[in-house]
Amino acid sequence: MVTMPFYVAGNPTTTADVLDVHSPYDGSVVGSYSVPGAEDIESAIAAAVAVQPTTRTLSAATRATALDHVSATIAQRSDEVAALISAESGKPMMWARAEVSRAVSTFRWAAEEARRFSGEVQRLDTDPAAVGRMAVVRRFAAGPVLGISPFNFPLNLVAHKVAPAIAVGAPIVLKPAPKTPLSALLLGEILSETDLPPGSWSILPAADADAPGMVSDPRLPIISFTGSERVGYAIQSAVPHKRVILELGGNAAAVVMADYASERDLDWAASRIATFGNYQAGQSCISVQRVYVHSSLAAEFTEILTAKVAGLATGDPRDPETVVGPMINVEAAERVDGWVQEAVTEGAEILTGGTREGTQVAPTLLTNVSDESKCYTEEVFGPVMTLRTFDSVDEAFELVNDSRFGLQAGIFTNDIHVAYRAQATLDVGGVIIGDVPSYRADQMPYGGVKNSGVGREGLRHAMDDYTDVRVMVLTGLEL
């Protein structure tokens, strides 16, 4: 088995420190990688600082061509990349292939945005004192970026750090999750085939113990972090003078309104909720966790949803029929199982699931869950959903908002008035009408409010977060 190198200033690098990556499903070794040391981290940061004047003025053609190459190469190697994602994360192949497709789109969108990242011209002669003046408003990279990505989307969430940085000419030092570094290192191999200048990117699967030093380094003024609420806010507190972009957790709600009552509608809602409460083994910050159904539909919908959840195929992630694979490790599975059993002792009823075998937690649907239950108030980050009823639109929206998280919500309704009201009323970053909160298009603004984070992903929006506005005023023009 070949040990994968890490990348310092775009150059493949190895050390004597080698770690294996194990399959969450059966514990087998699926790959190994070299671990960077302190000298490698220093070299990467120093190179990012040194190259910044070059990348800031790099032509749009150079940036876009590099991004197009990455997109096209991932597409050409899609089977290989999907197999690696599945192997290291335990993600079923159907979801690994979907992640590959999304990464292809993410880099393609970044290339398109790089080509049109031009700024704007603003007339200033709207007042008599400014006759003959015109402002040219452009954005420039604010400095090198430290990107820290999680284990659950080991390629596409890496792409959402790297692609916008390249698009705006910001050097980036990426620290992928130690549990799933291999997909990011494969991306490094592809990036090394481009003509981006050395130092414009580094991929360092460093130990978590090295993260605080990277976070506090004053040469990395922008930090883009995706992960847990606890770690995200620790970063923000440690470096309040830095620009910290946080994509944190959630306990996303799906609401089935009274008007969504046809047999077809209920089947669609139940299918989508069942699947996307349990895809990625629930290890997605926008997987469905809280389900609210109008009381007039409760009996029928509960029966349909329970059957859909119970019917999800679980097991070996290499099996193309598997929908729900293992959790990332035994510790995570034990935690989720413990929360479920605790909910039961507090009075919850298990409609289906509620069991664990190793890293595999059965898709679980709970009802009669208390307001204080962890399965209801916290981010479970596992294949567990809670089900409650409501009697009015007002009550439904109050239930959705009764959370310290605010990432996305899904509203199943055919009423356009309810849809617009949801967008205006719900304290979330995104409202998905007619589908689950788990829907995301990679070019759209994505992020949350409250304890779900600050800033936005989605190429053009992340590009804004990585840049500062500069205004140039031209004087004495004939307008």
What mean pLDDT comes out for the span 429-434? 98
Shared domain for 83 and 179, answered yes or no, is yes
What mean pLDDT comes out for the span 98-107? 98
pLDDT exceeding 90 applies to what percent of the chain? 99
What is the model's pLDDT at position 57? Answer: 93
Order of strands, sheet of 222-226, starting from the edge strand that comes earlier in the sequence: 11-13, 6-8, 201-203, 172-175, 145-148, 222-226, 243-247, 453-454
Shared domain for 235 and 265, answered yes or no, is no
pLDDT per position as a tens digit, 348-406: 999 999 999 999 999 999 999 999 999 999 999 999 999 999 999 999 999 999 999 99
> Does 479 map to a domain?
no
What is the model's pLDDT at position 125? Answer: 96
Shared domain for 214 and 295, answered yes or no, is no
Question: Distance of alpha carbon 225 from its chain centroid, rounded?
Answer: 10
> Does 210 map to a domain?
yes
Shared domain for 169 and 310, answered yes or no, is no
What is the model's pLDDT at position 448? Answer: 97
Shared domain for 285 and 377, answered yes or no, is yes
Distance CA 304, CA 93 (A): 26
Cβ-contact 358, 313 below 8 angstroms: no
The one catalytic residue in 113, 229, 285, 379 is 285
Tell me: pLDDT of 1 over 90. Answer: no
Shared domain for 161 and 270, answered yes or no, is no
Q: Which range of residues forms the domain containing residue 79? A: 3-248+453-472
- SS3 at position 190: helix
Cβ-contact 319, 405 below 8 angstroms: no
Query: Quick one: pLDDT band at residue 21, thresholds 50, 70, 90?
Result: very high
C-alpha distances in Å from residue 408, one per residue of 75, 143, 249 = 29, 30, 10
CB atoms within 10 A of CB 264: 8
Q: Please indicate whether residue 375 is annotated as part of the active site.
A: no
Shared domain for 172 and 142, answered yes or no, is yes
Residues 6+ apart with CB under 8 A from 395: none
Shared domain for 239 and 306, answered yes or no, is no
> Does 294 map to a domain?
yes
What mean pLDDT comes out for the span 43-50? 98
H-helix or E-strand containing 123? strand 120-123
Identify each DSSP E strand in 377-466 by its residue range: 384-390, 405-406, 408-412, 430-433, 449-450, 453-454
What is the model's pLDDT at position 2? Answer: 87
> Does 398 map to a domain?
yes
Tell me: pLDDT of 188 over 90. Answer: yes
Provide the mean pLDDT of the chain: 97
Domain of residue 379, CATH code: 3.40.309.10
Q: Please indicate whether residue 285 is annotated as part of the active site.
A: yes
The one catalytic residue in 247, 375, 379, 457 is 247
